[in-house]
Structure 1
Amino acid sequence: MARRRKGQAVSGWINLDKGYDLGSTTAVTRVRRLFDAQKAGHAGTLDPLATGVLPIALGEATKTVPFLMDADKSYRFTIAWGRTTATYDREGETLATSDVRPGPDAVAALLPRFIGEIDQIPPAYSAIKVDGERAYDLARAGETVELAARKVVIHAARLAEAPDADHVTLEIDCGKGTYVRALVRDLAEGLGACGHVSALRRTRVGRFHEADGVTLDMLEEMGYEARRSEALLPVETALDDIPVLAVTDEDAFRLKQGRSVVLVPRQVEMVRAGLKPGSRTVSAMAGGMMVALCEMRAGRLEPSRVFHL
């Protein structure tokens, strides 16, 4: 006899505004407990020293996490001039110091060099695995970590403010895998200065924006299940760039059984018009509820992930 899963069958997304000095895994655990959810996960780790948008998936929404991991993101961060650290943030050991204080005009003039597809070497203190070990574990153990450059995309970069000679705040919109700390390292080097990240905030992940976020304190203050459910976003929130196709109840039943369904020519053309280049993924909906994520092949929908909502 199968063991009954502990917790409630709660499904959806929480747009968590993560606080400072809180690990992503700890944040997920606290949200799961608040909702008494059977399972939970997050879409992209946010360092404990960073704040902002940390989308947390509950229940069936965990099946859509891979799609949000690939989503574009936005960050707002402050560079403190004068000190380069091992981690490129304010917690790291000081490696070098400098009296150079680049002005806002100099920073703005250099930014275009980093817009578009660029090669970026991730920081040694990162979660990337090297021979099965996390790079940051090796770095903390005193080992020399050399990571290969990776292709990343920065769509836009802008100067937000320069409150004083020691600090400048920037905003970027970027693709997955972009390291803000590596960008700050490269900016400082390009300006002949020392610098590190003194504050970092993620302001957007796909359709999840900071303006709509909820904090752990807010969720706790809601007090009871009915009120907390107001913060729960639909499972399909993570699928903003995937075309949606409404199917009949009969077709929904077939898809949930893992069987394919045949589309009429009008449906095929509708889906093709919304597909991204190289993608076949379609979201099947019935009665306003997610039924399945499917692949469209030869005029048929073949279910790849089925949802039980």
Structure 2
Amino acid sequence: MARKKGREVNGWLIVDKPAGVTSTAVVAKVRWALDAKKAGHAGTLDPDATGVLAVALGEATKTVPIVTDALKCYDFTVTWGAETTTDDASGDVIRSADARPDADAIRAALPALTGEIMQVPPAFSAVKVDGERAYDLAREGVEMELAARPLWVESLTLLEAGPDTARLEMVCGKGGYVRSIARDLGRALGCLGHVAHLRRTWSGPFEAQDGVAFDRIDRSEQAWLDECLRPLETGLSDLPMLRATPEGAIRIRNGNPGQVTDGAEWGELVWVRDAAGPVCIGRYQGGMVQPERVFNL
């Protein structure tokens, strides 16, 4: 079997994604620019959205589920008076309304969209329906009813209110669609609405303000991009860190439970390191850690 070409690059590159570029295209360009064997991202951004896109390289891809599960923050603007096919400005208007909410009405509607809520994804989304992506079916004109999904909304705050728009900030967990929030808020207020602008300002431990500009991701910038890489363990900041004994590290790297010198809650997900660096992600079991993902560094 032919081996994958490319360098062994391990770590995170944080990109400030511009509008008009897909998340997949960003990952592909990062992988090409760094000549990396393996790359993936921790949470899709809509093509029209901007902000932090965390790209994992090499062994850091094993930490992607941890970052994907972390809280994320979105700064977005809703335009009132129209609902669209895509729930953002790129879609066709399907319903309109003359009503416009004031700041007090908007604030009063926010608690219903905060906490543990059930959210119906937009028709144009990556949700799978009978094995096909919803956006592919929507483009073909197929009518469908997507099932509501649970979403944790940590906070939803009104930042500015104008006559026809409102700017809000949302902090939420995995799987949140800002476009659905805009749609549901517009319906609740009786004025309808869709997302006009959307920016992800932070995702887990990563912030957009620290991101690399998309136009600097190039083979000619490889040395500089190498310097911009964050360590693999940056993506593990939400997990407790335990230290393996020398013998424990050897056992864990061979896929067996290994001894650690620190403690945690029984069954808690942790990450383990030794003097050489990260060893694994695993479950703590009374002085031992059962590895679930072992790092080959």
- Please confirm whether the aligned pair reaches a TM-score higher than 0.5, indicating the same fold: yes
2:237 corresponds, among 237, 240, 245, to: 240
TM-score with structure 2 setting the length: 0.94
Partner of 2:215: 217
Partner of 1:283: 271
**Alpha-carbon deviation of 1:262?**
3.1
Once residues 210 and 288 of structure 1 are traced to their aligned partners in structure 2, the CA distance between those partners, rounded to angstroms, is: 30
Output one character per residue of 1:156-177: Cα deviation in whole Å (capped at 9) or x when no partner.
1111113x31211000111111
When structure 1 is superposed on structure 2, of 51-60 and 232-241 the one drifting more is: 232-241
1:193 corresponds, among 191, 194, 212, to: 191
The answer on whether the counterparts of 2:244 and 2:259 sit within 8 Å (CA) in structure 1 is no
> Which runs of no fewer than 5 residues in structure 1 stay unpaired?
none
1:293 corresponds, among 262, 271, 281, to: 281
2:177 corresponds, among 161, 165, 179, to: 179
Number of matched residues? 297
Q: CA RMSD for the aligned pairs?
A: 1.7
TM-score with structure 1 setting the length: 0.91
1:304 corresponds, among 289, 292, 296, to: 292
The 5 Å alignment of 1:46-195 reads: 46-162=45-161, 164-195=162-193
1:208 corresponds, among 206, 209, 214, to: 206
Once residues 75 and 220 of structure 2 are traced to their aligned partners in structure 1, the CA distance between those partners, rounded to angstroms, is: 32
Partner of 1:229: 226
The answer on whether the counterparts of 2:247 and 2:259 sit within 8 Å (CA) in structure 1 is no
**Alpha-carbon deviation of 1:288?**
5.6
Once residues 137 and 217 of structure 1 are traced to their aligned partners in structure 2, the CA distance between those partners, rounded to angstroms, is: 29
Partner of 2:27: 28
**Alpha-carbon deviation of 1:179?**
1.2
Once residues 260 and 220 of structure 2 are traced to their aligned partners in structure 1, the CA distance between those partners, rounded to angstroms, is: 46
Does residue 13 in structure 1 map to residue 6 in structure 2? no
**Alpha-carbon deviation of 1:235?**
0.8
When structure 1 is superposed on structure 2, of 202-211 and 32-41 the one drifting more is: 202-211
Once residues 149 and 112 of structure 1 are traced to their aligned partners in structure 2, the CA distance between those partners, rounded to angstroms, is: 18
Does residue 252 in structure 1 map to residue 249 in structure 2? yes
1:271 corresponds, among 252, 264, 269, to: 264
**Alpha-carbon deviation of 1:208?**
0.9
SS at match of 2:264: helix
**Alpha-carbon deviation of 1:196?**
0.9
The answer on whether the counterparts of 2:157 and 2:169 sit within 8 Å (CA) in structure 1 is yes
SS at match of 1:151: strand
**Alpha-carbon deviation of 1:223?**
4.0
**Alpha-carbon deviation of 1:289?**
1.4
1:243 is aligned with what amino acid?
Answer: P
**Alpha-carbon deviation of 1:296?**
1.9
Once residues 227 and 121 of structure 1 are traced to their aligned partners in structure 2, the CA distance between those partners, rounded to angstroms, is: 42
1:170 is aligned with what amino acid?
Answer: L
SS at match of 1:181: helix
Once residues 147 and 254 of structure 2 are traced to their aligned partners in structure 1, the CA distance between those partners, rounded to angstroms, is: 44
Identity among equivalent positions (%) equals 47
Once residues 43 and 263 of structure 1 are traced to their aligned partners in structure 2, the CA distance between those partners, rounded to angstroms, is: 29
> Which runs of no fewer than 5 residues in structure 2 stay unpaired?
none
Q: 1:148 to 1:224 in 2, by over 3 A?
A: closer
2:10 is aligned with what amino acid?
Answer: S
Output one character per residue of 1:37-58: Cα deviation in whole Å (capped at 9) or x when no partner.
0010011111101111111100
SS at match of 2:212: coil
Once residues 247 and 118 of structure 2 are traced to their aligned partners in structure 1, the CA distance between those partners, rounded to angstroms, is: 49
Once residues 5 and 91 of structure 1 are traced to their aligned partners in structure 2, the CA distance between those partners, rounded to angstroms, is: 38
SS at match of 1:271: coil
The answer on whether the counterparts of 2:115 and 2:153 sit within 8 Å (CA) in structure 1 is yes
SS at match of 2:280: strand
